[in-house]
Amino acid sequence: MTLKGKTLFITGASRGIGLAIAKRAAQDGANIVIIAKTSDPNPKLPGTIYSAAKEVEAAGGNALPLAVDIRDDDAVVAAVAKAVEAFGGIDILVNNASAISLTNTEATPMKRFDLMNGINARGTYLCTSTCLPELKKSAAAGRNPHVLTMSPPLSMKTHWFAAHTAYSMAKYGMSMCTLGHAGEFKKFGIGVNSLWPRTAIATAAMQMIPGVDLALCRKPEILSDAAYLILTGPSTVTGNFFIDDSLLIEHGVTDLDQYSVTPGTKNFVPDFFVD
């Protein structure tokens, strides 16, 4: 199975992991709806919806760049309508957009709490609920629809919360959407899963976190290749919290060193939430 002719609605697709997933799907000739806020260049964070569209088209796909804040209900509804108008429907939703602040309670003002929970948990729920009618149509047409959320396994352990309670709540909110929607949408034939990296991933956003050595990270392509395996697999596979390297190994990928920023690295920066 390939993604040729499929339409993917990807949030946070202007750079990093979202863009990598978009470009991998584009290699099959997929239609990519690029959802992100960045329409004008930012010197601190390279990449806009328009530069991403050029990369998607260069990779062989069709692109629809849309400047959308996924905290805005009306903007998400309008974006879904534009996607349907352009490509006839939506087969896959990738909930990738996320905000991060690794701060403790005293250092997390409510404005930052609302930002993270508004984008991560609420934004994931909003995009999923708004895309659901189109995903149901895709299922009825036998087009193997999926929802894939970039969020961690649910591990309710104190050490994953203590240092940054607000961020952990926001990320686990995304994972709770996966858990609930997998059960709720199973009767429709829609696969709902989460994907998370074992190691830190070298992205522009990660570069802004103090103390992270990007040389000891993996490239975003490890997630895009893992995501591709999920999205081209049957939608009956649902309710899983996949870890990128384990999934690739299960599918026979033996050369994980290709994903290392520094070839030969053994001691990567570990990601959060992986026990």
Q: How many domains in the chain?
A: 1
What local confidence, expressed as pLDDT, does residue 99 receive? 95
Catalytic site residues? 167
pLDDT at 260 over 80: yes
pLDDT at 211 over 90: no
pLDDT at 208 over 80: no
What local confidence, expressed as pLDDT, does residue 209 receive? 79
**What confidence tens digit (pLDDT) does each residue in 22-75 have?**
999 999 999 999 999 988 888 878 899 999 999 999 999 999 999 999 999 999
Q: What's the rounded mean pLDDT across residues 146-163?
A: 97
Share of the chain above pLDDT 70, in %: 100
Has residue 2 been placed in a domain? Answer: no
Given a contact cutoff of 8 angstroms between Cβ atoms, the answer to whether 66 and 79 are in contact is: yes
CATH of the domain at 234: 3.40.50.720
> What range does the domain containing 207 cover?
7-259
In angstroms, what CA-CA distances link 8 with 18, 25, 37, 65?
Answer: 11, 8, 17, 12
Q: What's the rounded mean pLDDT across residues 134-145?
A: 98
CB within 8 A of 146, min separation 6: which ones? Answer: 91, 92, 93, 190, 191, 192, 193, 230, 231, 235
Has residue 1 been placed in a domain? Answer: no
Across the chain, how many H-helices and E-strands are there? 9, 7
CA 254 to chain CA centroid, Å, is 24
